[in-house]
Chains A and B, each alone.
Chain A
Amino acid sequence: MTTLSPPVSLAAVTCGLCGFEYVPGGDTCREHGCPVAFGTCATRHCPRCGYVVPDEERSVMAGFVRRLLRRRTPRAVATVADLPSGEGGVIARLEGDSDLQSRLSAQGFAPGVTVCVVQRHPTYVIEVGETTVAVERRVAEAIVLRDPEPK
């Protein structure tokens, strides 16, 4: 739905230690004789030197740490879901299925309207003018914002 998430890549990666290029996953682990490698472990090994990289898609912890670090790096705000608490933006368009769009637009969410995120947990709480609406993450992701104007 969101255009921001990086495309899933099957391309080769370069080992951070020895510089060997390999395609992660597959049989590389088994070929190296790892006893637990039946496609269920959460690490990737460089087939040449054995350098370990956590697999962020499989490992809950690694993914969590990654997201934690990612949040710190500033990037262009794209949807309401990306806004930090207390900040606002101007709606560019609504996405998602037509039923959700009709519902949101009837509640006052429309292009050009300013919204402000009050909080993100346990659900998002958004202010639109005098209206306060609580929505879940997948709804917040459907409200796409305009690029913030450069300061």
Chain B
Amino acid sequence: MAGAPVTLPLVPVPREEASAPPRRVVLLGNPNVGKSALFNALTGLRATVSNYPGTTVEVYRGRLPGTTIEIVDSPGLNSILPLSEDERVTWSLVQSARAEEGAVVVQVADAKNLRRALLLTLQLGQLEVPTVLVLNMSDEAQERGIRIDVPGLEAALGVPVRTTVATRGVGVADVTAALASARAPRNHLPIPGAVAGPAVDLLTRGAADSAAEPFSIARYHEALLGHAEVLAGRFATTADPKGRALSRRLGRIAVHPVWGWPVLAVVLWALYEVVGVFGAGTLVDLLERGLFGGYINPWVTSAFALVPWALVRDMFVGEYGLVTMGLSYGLAIVLPIVATFFTAFALLEDSGYLPRLAVMSDRVFRVMGLNGKAVLPMVLGLGCDTMATLTTRILATRKERLLAMLLLALGVPCSAQLGVILAMLASVPKAAAAVWVFTIVGVMVSVGWIAARILPGQRGDFVVELPPMRRPALGNVLSKTLARIEWYLKEALPLFLVGTFVLFVLDRLRLLQVIVRAGEPLVTGVLGLPAEASAAFLIGFLRRDFAATRLFDMSRGGGLDVVQVVVAMVTITLFIPCIANVFMIAKERGWKTAGAIAAFVFPLAFAVGGLVRVLMLGLGFGGH
């Protein structure tokens, strides 16, 4: 870095005193500093609040109560120069705030980590965006003995600075009041001209394509960090650099080379107990046998007995009745499982364990051409593959995103399906259940391994920030779980009803029998399942969990033996992803990719199913 430091070409233009309140507020900040928490506190609405860097992949909007001020939440970023797809979203939000009259940025900062936050503030200064700086989590900073000279920082930056504890609503009103006096942060950085020029170019245009000159973003960040360091050193004093001992120790044990594994085992076991045993067992029994079997279905059936038309009667309460099949599958079997899974997932998310899971699983994912970061979409996929497909955006390269989508579509059962599968597997010997686990894991790892070698492109570097472990706030967990359940009901329930209706119509038109017969060579010949299972696979095109539920229903009636249960479960787990997921893949990667994935997964599911049948019969599982 030779040459005398020059002042940036952008000269700060003193803005008019913004007396009028802004019309739009963009929340922005480093990952995991509480943007979504502040968003909730400001709007009273609920965005997804999580303790995982990079969870907000979609932009949440809300309104300041009693005003017309729009508030926009954005995905976290470490630099305004967009380095990945999800950061691009925030970059374009900043650009629009720049162009728009009456738009203001509220930068949310972790009060414990002023230096990193100031890197963003300085960039906002270069872009001359009116800003309010919010030092969030000031309670945690205080606990660690960090003192910040707020008036001094305000004077140095030339922007209003406020301190908050967003999760408890402390200081939120001050932020609202400060919106009107937002200013562009002072912009007189001693940055070498060779670095500053291209940096501002990149900042304003975003795309690196036109910036052909060998300009290093890293040198630019380093220059900013140097200045941020000086500012942070002057206005933040640390008495005791050690954090809260317990949270720190917990965070370390969770990634410990030895103790990390027992912790992982306990987490998985707890997840199984909550979702598999409590959700899929106890709750399903209660709702399905108790509520639907004991009250709703008999009651609705007797009510419909008064209806003179047999057609209408069958449509609602017949074998393929909208109430007896569609609603009771969706509400009594799938809903309790989804609800327990999302609760457990929200707890894991908010505690800060998920990024630590990424550390523990890095090795496994590297075999499949991914890195530990891919664990977030995969675990979320256990909740819902469609949601998870959207989250693949946090992965750095195109290749990784494609691989993750393929694996999600192929072998990650969503919670509804998983719950049903677990319940079904509970009825077969443990060795047979193990066949299912090994087959699915084996297929996923081998397909991932092969695909990683065929697909062009590179694996991204594994860099994951580990947020401090925190006790999840009950309110956040609850509201997030409810939001996800609502989303699930909106997406899945209509499809359950549509699927049931399609079956009903096909049955009436005597087409179902034709399809069952047509599917016989495949379903009975290859898989060795009863011919009626064809109907289950048919609705599997709509949703895999619906199909699994149908098979579950069949097996409970004693219609399937051990081998048949495992073969059916393997096939339906690998079966084509549900319609919503296919649409999501198409939206993210185009129809060609979505079609290719579906065309690959479908025959593979049957081939593996057939293979498992042959192997299990050969191993002597057949004679029961």
Q: Which residues of A contact B (CB under 8 A)?
A: 94, 96, 98-108, 110-113, 118-123, 125, 129-136, 138-139
User: Which stretch (B215-223, B423-431, B509-517, B527-535) binds chain A?
Assistant: B215-223
| CB contact between B464 and one of A118, A129, A134 (< 8 Å): that residue | A134
Cβ–Cβ contact B218 & A102, under 8 A: yes
Q: How far is the CA of A101 from the CA of B214 in the complex (A)?
A: 14
Cβ–Cβ contact B255 & A133, under 8 A: no
Q: Is B381 an interface residue (CB 8 A)?
A: no
With A105-B225, A108-B115 as contacts: A133 and B463 at CB distance below 8 Å: yes
Q: How far is the CA of A122 from the CA of B358 in the complex (A)?
A: 10
Q: Which residues of B contact A103 (CB under 8 A)?
A: 78, 83, 461, 463
Q: Is B607 an interface residue (CB 8 A)?
A: no
Cβ–Cβ contact A132 & B372, under 8 A: no
The residue of chain B having its C-beta at the shortest distance from the C-beta of A125 within the complex is: B255
Q: How far is the CA of A110 from the CA of B118 in the complex (A)?
A: 14
Q: Which residues of B contact A132 (CB under 8 A)?
A: 251, 465-468
Q: Is B244 an interface residue (CB 8 A)?
A: no
Q: Which residues of A contact B465 (CB under 8 A)?
A: 107, 131-134
The residue of chain B having its C-beta at the shortest distance from the C-beta of A97 within the complex is: B461
Interface size class, chain B: 35 or more
A95 to chain B, nearest CB (A): 10
Cβ–Cβ contact A136 & B218, under 8 A: no
Q: How far is the CA of A94 from the CA of B225 in the complex (A)?
A: 14
| Most central of A102, A106, A131, A134 by chain B CB within 10 Å | A106
Cβ–Cβ contact B462 & A134, under 8 A: yes
Q: How far is the CA of A80 from the CA of B115 in the complex (A)?
A: 21
The residue of chain B having its C-beta at the shortest distance from the C-beta of A101 within the complex is: B218
With A101-B217, A107-B116 as contacts: A135 and B461 at CB distance below 8 Å: yes
The residue of chain A having its C-beta at the shortest distance from the C-beta of B116 within the complex is: A108
B334 to chain A, nearest CB (A): 35
The residue of chain A having its C-beta at the shortest distance from the C-beta of B257 within the complex is: A121
| Most central of B112, B225, B360 by chain A CB within 10 Å | B225
Q: How far is the CA of A72 from the CA of B78 in the complex (A)?
A: 38
Q: Which residues of A contact B217 (CB under 8 A)?
A: 98, 101-102, 105
| Most central of B110, B144, B257 by chain A CB within 10 Å | B257
**Interface residue SS majority, chain A:** mixed
Q: How far is the CA of A131 from the CA of B113 in the complex (A)?
A: 7
Cβ–Cβ contact B257 & A105, under 8 A: no
Q: How far is the CA of A125 from the CA of B216 in the complex (A)?
A: 26
Cβ–Cβ contact B359 & A107, under 8 A: no
Q: Is B363 an interface residue (CB 8 A)?
A: yes
| CB contact between A122 and one of B222, B362, B396 (< 8 Å): that residue | B362
Q: How far is the CA of A89 from the CA of B410 in the complex (A)?
A: 45
Q: List 16 A-B contacts (CB under 8 A).
A: A101-B218, A102-B217, A102-B221, A105-B79, A106-B78, A106-B221, A108-B113, A122-B255, A122-B360, A123-B359, A132-B465, A133-B466, A134-B255, A134-B463, A138-B461, A139-B461
Q: Which residues of B contact A (CB under 8 A)?
A: 77-79, 81, 83, 110, 112-113, 115-116, 119, 144, 216-218, 221-222, 225-226, 229, 243, 251-252, 255-257, 260, 355, 358-360, 362-363, 371-372, 396, 461-468
Cβ–Cβ contact A125 & B226, under 8 A: no
| CB contact between A135 and one of B144, B226, B243, B463 (< 8 Å): that residue | B463
Cβ–Cβ contact B463 & A107, under 8 A: yes
B611 to chain A, nearest CB (A): 33
Q: How far is the CA of A99 from the CA of B115 in the complex (A)?
A: 21
Q: Which residues of A contact B79 (CB under 8 A)?
A: 102, 105-106
Cβ–Cβ contact B466 & A134, under 8 A: yes
| CB contact between A112 and one of B119, B144, B226, B463 (< 8 Å): that residue | B226
With A106-B79, A123-B362, A134-B359 as contacts: A111 and B463 at CB distance below 8 Å: no
Q: How far is the CA of A101 from the CA of B217 in the complex (A)?
A: 8
B237 to chain A, nearest CB (A): 14
Cβ–Cβ contact B252 & A118, under 8 A: yes
| CB contact between B222 and one of A98, A110, A118 (< 8 Å): that residue | A110
Q: Which residues of B contact A120 (CB under 8 A)?
A: 257
Q: Which residues of A contact B221 (CB under 8 A)?
A: 102, 105-106, 110
Q: How far is the CA of A70 from the CA of B81 in the complex (A)?
A: 42
Q: Which residues of A contact B218 (CB under 8 A)?
A: 94, 98, 101-102, 104-105
| CB contact between A99 and one of B83, B144, B255, B358 (< 8 Å): that residue | B83
The residue of chain B having its C-beta at the shortest distance from the C-beta of A107 within the complex is: B78
A-B interface, 10 closest residue pairs, ranked by CB to CB distance from nearest: A105-B221, A101-B218, A106-B78, A102-B217, A106-B79, A136-B462, A121-B257, A132-B466, A110-B225, A110-B222
Q: How far is the CA of A130 from the CA of B110 in the complex (A)?
A: 10
Task: List 18 extra interface pairs beyond A108-B115, A133-B464, A135-B464, CB under 8 A.
Answer: A98-B217, A100-B463, A101-B216, A101-B217, A102-B217, A106-B119, A108-B113, A113-B229, A122-B255, A125-B466, A129-B116, A130-B113, A132-B251, A132-B465, A134-B255, A134-B358, A134-B359, A136-B362
Q: Which residues of B contact A104 (CB under 8 A)?
A: 218, 463
| Most central of B255, B260, B358 by chain A CB within 10 Å | B255
Q: Which residues of B contact A129 (CB under 8 A)?
A: 113, 115-116
| Most central of A131, A132, A134 by chain B CB within 10 Å | A134
| CB contact between A136 and one of B83, B256, B355, B461 (< 8 Å): that residue | B461
